[in-house]
Amino acid sequence: HPSSIRSVAGDRRLIVLSQVHGIGPLLGRKLLAFFGSLTVIGSRTPDQLQGCPNIGPKAARRIHEFFADNSQVNGQTSQPSPG
């Protein structure tokens, strides 16, 4: 059933966002509704994140730092350069 698949994906995304201090299910849903995906959220600057309703400077900075520190979360795994 497609809606249950969507629900599982949505739950996973909310779980990821809930790891950011101060971001609960409500703000997580707002972020996902506004930006569309974790990849997009992770690629935004703090100023861009503040474009989402109810996201202030502190939350935007926390979200940005979370994705910068956890780049594998949004599908951008950092691999060591061959040396």
Which pair of structure tokens corresponds to residue 54? 């109810």
* Biggest distance spanned by C-alpha atoms of the chain: 47
With 0.85 as the threshold, say if the pTM is over it. no
Residue 21: the pLDDT is 92
Judge whether 64 and 55 are in contact, CB under 8 Å. Answer: no
Give the Å distances, CA to CA, from 40 to 1, 44, 58, 73, 83. 26, 6, 19, 11, 31
Per-residue pLDDT of the chain (83 residues; tens, 9 = 90+): 455 555 666 688 999 999 999 999 999 999 999 999 999 999 999 999 999 999 999 999 999 999 999 876 655 444 444 45
DSSP 33-57: HHH-SHHHHHHS-HHHHTTSTT--H
Yes or no: say if 17 and 25 are a contact pair by the CB < 8 Å rule: no
